[in-house]
Amino acid sequence: MLTSSMSYISISPYTYNTQILYNKLCRPCWALKMHNISSFKFDFVRPWSHGMWRSLSDCASTRNHLLHRFHINASSDEDFKSSRNIAISLFKRYRNVIDRGGGENLKEFINAGVNAYALGCTDEGLRKELINLKESGTEIEGLQIYGGGTSVKFKILYEEVRECILWLSIVFITILCTPQPTIVRWSSTPPVSDDILQQWKGFCAIIANAYYMRGMAWMPVKTLQLEQMAVMGSAEEPSLVASRMRLVFSTLEVVSPQWPRV
């Protein structure tokens, strides 16, 4: 059931036009075209057709550039040398947000997600890596608290895997809803599974529209709940919807900043 809560802060009045939204925003940088707007289907094409093929050494160079550009706090390059290591790195940062709050911790998760997107990772691939770790009983060593100290080891829970990968999927979909070019993806494989894309692309696109066309950094929770009701048949609690919205806005600020840093 939808709540009557309408707590929000908006920089400008909110309106959006679906036609404008999908014509201008929801185009991956390597997509030639989209299907009919009303079908809400992306037409994913191979980046090689755009002359975007790169050698493995170029990909390594790209990875190092991304680590520098997005200030990813990696313990070493080992964090990004395999999908397993990337999954562990993302999960550590997810747990860091849960345990210590958002802010810079959330930005670190987003930065790591952007890096995973650029390197060609998929939400399902990383989900499988985390499930395999869970089923093998592997313990993950958490990120150290700033200033040093001993980090804590913890086991992975299925619910944590589900939520961590959902966060990552939202980051990936948000990148797809940015004007081109933003982040170049060195893979022809769609980053997000079809069912998750169907569920969340409208949610992310509405926020992207508000961000780019209305200069907004927050919007009514009720609007997003209505979108969830239309697509999924139910809406999440206002606090959870607000956290999803914050994740999308924060991702947009990382990959496509619109205002000078203070």
Q: Categorise residue 46: left if φ over 0, alpha if ψ from -120 to 50, beta otherwise.
A: beta
- Of residues 158 and 41, more confidently modeled: 158
Place of tokens 């860091």: 96
* pLDDT single digits (tens) 118-143: 999 999 999 999 999 999 988 888 76
Q: pLDDT value at position 169?
A: 98
Is 60 part of any domain?
yes
Is 78 part of any domain?
yes
Is 1 part of any domain?
no
Is 10 part of any domain?
no
Count of domains for the chain: 1
Task: Give all strands (DSSP E) within the chain, no chain letters.
Answer: 139-141, 153-155
Tell me whether strands 139-141 and 153-155 are parallel, antiparallel or unpaired.
Answer: antiparallel
Cis amide prior to 181 (ω within 30 degrees): yes
- What global pTM score does this model have? 0.72
Q: pLDDT value at position 255?
A: 94
List the domain range (segments joined by +) for residue 165: 18-44+55-255
Coil, strand or helix at 51: coil
* pLDDT single digits (tens) 52-80: 334 334 444 444 554 444 444 444 455 56
Is 6 part of any domain?
no
Is 13 part of any domain?
no
